């Protein structure tokens, strides 16, 4: 099963991001970008890739234990940017303001994954919300991105283990498990 651990975005924020993309004509002005379906927006804490079915209970336990000592917190979204940078964009994202609790819960989950020998992508964590992926080389004017600003905030009360199913129509996600912050399931 292809899996990841994430923070899910409130539906009102997903709608606001979809509206932001439309209101700023981003689909029209940046046609080389495949915009993420608002229903699929999430913040990835750990991308696990393929996980054997028999390891899923282990991952659920790690998520539950990783959230136990953490309290709900607020995510503040602000600004737009690109990875790796504006000159060679591959991903368009909305930024996340520094939130120590976000980094701490992610670190605890990663420690559990390491201890259990479960693979996850260990790239440096730069908190962001991916809203688009570049399909073909594109030039984006820094002034264009810099004048756009999306801001919103939402509470984070639980962490999710998700399954990702890829198809020609795009990805679809299924919740396998969720764990409330500060509670063990």
User: In this structure, what token pair is assigned to residue 19?
Assistant: 């509206």
DSSP state of 107: H
Catalytic residue among 118, 128, 129, 181: 128
* Residue-wise DSSP of 134-148: ESS-----HHHHHH-
- Beta-carbon count within 10 A of 125 CB: 15
User: In this structure, what token pair is assigned to residue 9?
Assistant: 């975005």
Indicate if 71 belongs to the active site. no
2 three-class SS: strand
Catalytic residue among 8, 16, 38, 42: 42
Paired residues of 162 in beta bridges: 4, 175
Q: How far apart are CA 32 and CA 37, in angstroms?
A: 15
The candidate with the shortest Cα–Cα distance to 56, out of 105, 104, 4, 109, is: 4
Instruction: Report in angstroms the alpha-carbon separations of 33 from 20, 27, 150.
Output: 15, 8, 18
Indicate if 70 belongs to the active site. no
Q: Which residues form the catalytic set?
A: 42, 128
């Amino acid at each position: 099963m292809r899996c990841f651990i994430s923070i899910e975005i409130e539906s009102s924020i997903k709608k606001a991001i979809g509206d932001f993309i439309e209101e700023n004509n981003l689909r029209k002005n940046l046609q080389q970008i495949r915009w993420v379906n608002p229903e699929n927006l999430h913040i990835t804490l750990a991308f696990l890739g393929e996980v054997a079915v028999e390891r899923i209970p282990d991952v659920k336990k790690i998520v539950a234990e990783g959230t136990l000592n953490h309290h709900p917190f607020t995510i503040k979204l602000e600004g737009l940017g690109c990875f790796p940078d504006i000159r060679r964009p591959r991903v368009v994202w909305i930024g996340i303001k520094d939130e120590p609790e976000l980094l701490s819960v992610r670190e605890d989950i990663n420690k559990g994954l390491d201890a259990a020998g479960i693979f996850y992508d260990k790239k440096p964590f730069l908190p962001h919300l991916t809203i688009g992926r570049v399909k073909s080389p594109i030039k984006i004017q820094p002034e264009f991105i810099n004048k756009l600003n999306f801001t919103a905030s939402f509470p984070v009360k639980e962490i999710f283990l998700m399954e990702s199913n890829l198809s020609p129509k795009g990805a679809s996600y299924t919740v396998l498990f969720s764990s409330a912050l500060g509670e063990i399931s």
